[in-house]
Structure 1
Amino acid sequence: MTLEILTSDMLSPVRHGFFSRRGGASSGIFSGLNCGLGSSDQTEAVALNRRRVAEAMEVDPQALVGVHQVHSPTVVTIDAPLNGDKPKADAVVTATPGLALTILTADCQPVLFADPDANVIGAAHAGWRGALDGVLEATLDAMEALGARRENTCAVIGPSISQRAYEVGPELMDSFMMETPDNARFFAGGTGDRLQFDLPGYGLNKLREAGVKSAEWTRHCTYSDPDRFYSYRRSTHAKEADYGRLISAIRL
């Protein structure tokens, strides 16, 4: 099966892709294009999957640059492939051609950024905590330090868990209400005291408030489409031992 790569006209002409799980070498619960080196999948299968992604992005495998994601607002600026241990961060930016910035997700938001006029790109992992703590704004700040202008920057949120599938407790809403009472609009009533949180809606709002030229969500729900996407929450509900990781990538 060939790779399925979701793209957005908004990021054109910058080469990018939100890769689904289709077309990979992994099997079992990881069946498909699992690119998570931190998963319990076979190392050889993950390495092959990543090579296929590198080929699709037209870079060497070592030019697939990622970070050790920790749900933080930390951004790393790079100008060469990372060797050895990955820095703990949740976003990466560059102005160097030939490097493919990558983010791994399985419900959280993968967000790709581009200012094609300045030749500056970025990629961020934005779960609820990272988004609340400012990882999207920090990514734009780091891009501006490389010469980008946020009013020329487009940002696209890839496959993420949708509001109808994302049930949370009242304590999560409390955290968002501490930022601003306006955040109540991203929560809908659920069963009992549970709430449904609109993670992509919140991400889009943060991007637009930060002053980007344009922002969109691809409107793909990771939880609701098991044939195409991995989902941490779905695997937890199914009591599976582990879960695959989707990769998103962008390069100059």
Structure 2
Amino acid sequence: MLNDTRPEPIRSPLLEEAASEGIAHGFFTRAGGVSDGLYRGLNVGLGSGDARAAVEENRRRVAREMGVAEDALLTLHQCHSADAVEVKAPFPAVRPKADAMVTNKPGLALGVLAADCGPVLFADPEARVIGAAHAGWQGALSGIIEATIEAMERLGARRQGIAAALGPSISRDNYEVGPEFVARFVEADPSNEAYFRASSTKGSREGHAFFDLNLYTVDRLTRAGVRAHMLGLCTYADEERFFSYRRATHRGETDYGRQISAIVLEND
């Protein structure tokens, strides 16, 4: 157990520019949590098989680090969709089923969970609007990035004023996919072929390739007209700091933890 340490969120230099405007953020790692075993560290996954008391304590620690009340650390029932919701207050018992949320209300920390998918945090410091999105391959392909930006604009954000940072997610070198996966992307847009590198892994079947989810996500952010930054940290390769669904699957493990990334408009 890691009871004697504090969480150690990673900051994006791009989003740190908004700190002077009262916007705080953090891409949290496994450090500073109380979970054991497969979930060692700061597992915040309510849907994991971890002890509920440990997950709740981990979430309390994240809320404290973000400077918000425990019930103001908001996370969604993520479902790999392109749905973004506006939030104005802490959720009731049932969390919305969506993959992004936006707000202009101070004191609400918008959190997204991931264990290989891309967590993206957004901020327009001048308009005082923030957002957070869970961008796995399905959400990224179907438009979760654009949906989040559009939801922020409805609250007064200006596209050219939005900064977005992609946190730790699986790197191309560890993301091998099959031919049907490649075909889905290329059928959606032939230029997507550029995000795949043919697999030379021993024993790989015909048509397998390595997919660059990070570059794909950042390029969609850039094409959408916002400033973007990528941390470039691989969840699969860095077991000490990050949980990874694919790493757990390759090892035949029964479950995996989830890390959180969060952003908040601080109270005036």
Q: Tell me which interval the TM-score lies in, with the shorter structure as reference length.
A: over 0.9
Counterpart position of 2:37: 28
SS of the aligned residue for 1:5 comes to coil
Q: 1:171 pairs with 156, 173, 180, which one?
A: 180
Aligned partners of 1:87, 1:249: CA distance in 2, in Å?
17
Aligned partners of 1:83, 1:65: CA distance in 2, in Å?
10
Q: CA deviation at 1:87?
A: 1.0
Counterpart position of 1:226: 239
Q: 1:241 pairs with 254, 259, 267, which one?
A: 254
Q: CA deviation at 1:2?
A: 2.5
Aligned partners of 1:23, 1:79: CA distance in 2, in Å?
29
Q: 1:182 pairs with 191, 194, 217, which one?
A: 191
SS of the aligned residue for 2:122 comes to strand
Q: CA deviation at 1:142?
A: 0.1
Counterpart position of 2:128: 119
Q: 1:89-238 counterparts in 2 under 5 A?
A: 89-190=98-199, 191-193=204-206, 194-212=208-226, 214-238=227-251
Deviations 1:76-116 (A, max 9, x none): 10111111111110000000000000000000000000000
Counterpart position of 1:4: 8
What letter matches 2:229 in structure 1?
A: E
Counterpart position of 2:93: 84
Q: CA deviation at 1:23?
A: 1.2
Aligned partners of 2:194, 2:45: CA distance in 1, in Å?
33
Aligned partners of 2:153, 2:171: CA distance in 1, in Å?
30
Q: CA RMSD in A?
A: 0.7
Aligned partners of 2:211, 2:124: CA distance in 1, in Å?
30
What letter matches 2:12 in structure 1?
A: S
Q: CA deviation at 1:180?
A: 1.2
List structure 1 runs of 4+ shifted beyond 3 angstroms.
none
Aligned partners of 1:61, 1:248: CA distance in 2, in Å?
15
What letter matches 1:5 in structure 2?
A: P
Aligned partners of 2:159, 2:231: CA distance in 1, in Å?
20
Q: CA deviation at 1:132?
A: 0.2
Counterpart position of 1:62: 71
Overall identity of the aligned pairs, in %: 53
Aligned partners of 1:76, 1:62: CA distance in 2, in Å?
18
Q: CA deviation at 1:166?
A: 0.2
SS of the aligned residue for 1:88 comes to coil
Is it true that 1:19 corresponds to 2:66 in the alignment?
no
Aligned partners of 1:31, 1:242: CA distance in 2, in Å?
12
Deviations 1:162-191 (A, max 9, x none): 000000001111111112111111000113
Instruction: After superposing the two structures, state which structure 1 stretch, 79-88 or 138-147, moved more.
Output: 79-88
Aligned partners of 2:162, 2:116: CA distance in 1, in Å?
24
Aligned partners of 2:205, 2:229: CA distance in 1, in Å?
32
Counterpart position of 2:60: 51
Counterpart position of 2:50: 41
What letter matches 1:200 in structure 2?
A: N
Q: CA deviation at 1:8?
A: 1.0
Q: CA deviation at 1:124?
A: 0.2
Unaligned runs of 5+ in 2: none
Aligned partners of 1:178, 1:187: CA distance in 2, in Å?
14
TM score, norm. by length of structure 2: 0.93
Q: CA deviation at 1:75?
A: 0.6
